[in-house]
Amino acid sequence: MSDQEKKQEAMEMVGKAYQHHMRGEIERAIELYTKSLELHVTPEAYTYRGWARSYRKDFEAAIADCHRAIDLDPEFGAPYNDIGAYYLEMGQYEDAIPWLHMALKARRYESYCYPHFNLGRVYEAQDRLEQALEHFQSALRENPGYALAAKAVERVKEKRSFRINASPAGGR
């Protein structure tokens, strides 16, 4: 089998793994992502296997897979976002920020709304509401149908409004 044929078969296996992943069949998905990598190493397989591992809360392995993906293709944005998201899930907000910014700079990425949304989550958790709002709004501009971002914009606006109205000066 030629290298191109191996790559094509490996990517088809990633597609099958992804289907299992979306059905919640995480162990089967990890198994197929791994088989794909044994056939032909791709940044997509490493990134998605990391994502599947994160469902098991195995963030160390997930981050390691994302680093392997970045080593293969530094312009692929998804693993940067994912590393940031894993740090966010672990409550390591400051560690998340640079990874999410790198995702926004990656040339090969189709979903810039996700790192913006995740940065919004980081800043909201840190009570940096202006920055949170800015990134949630950017996520919504990138993907106008992103319901979670729309809800986050409203939530942060309410928090801001409450803070202003609750101030000792009465919002003046």
Domain boundaries, the chain: 1-103, 111-172
What is the tens place of the pLDDT at every residue in 44-60?
999 999 999 999 999 99
Global pTM value? 0.90
What is the tens place of the pLDDT at every residue in 110-125?
899 999 999 999 999 9
Q: What is the pLDDT of residue 172?
A: 44
What average pLDDT does this structure show over 73-95?
97
pLDDT at residue 128 tops 70: yes
Q: What is the pLDDT of residue 1?
A: 81
Higher pLDDT, 105 or 164: 105
CA 136 remoteness from chain centre: 14
Buried b (16+ CB within 10 A) or exposed e, 36-46: bbebbbbbbbb
What fold does the segment set 1-103 form as a domain? 1.25.40
Q: Please tell me the distance from the alpha carbon of residue 39 to that of residue 49, in angstroms, as a whole number.
A: 14
What average pLDDT does this structure show over 11-21?
96
Cα of first residue to Cα of last residue in the chain, in angstroms, is: 73
pLDDT at residue 161 tops 80: yes
Pair 48, 14: CB distance under 8 Å = yes
Q: How many CA atoms lie within 13 A of 75 on its CB side?
A: 2
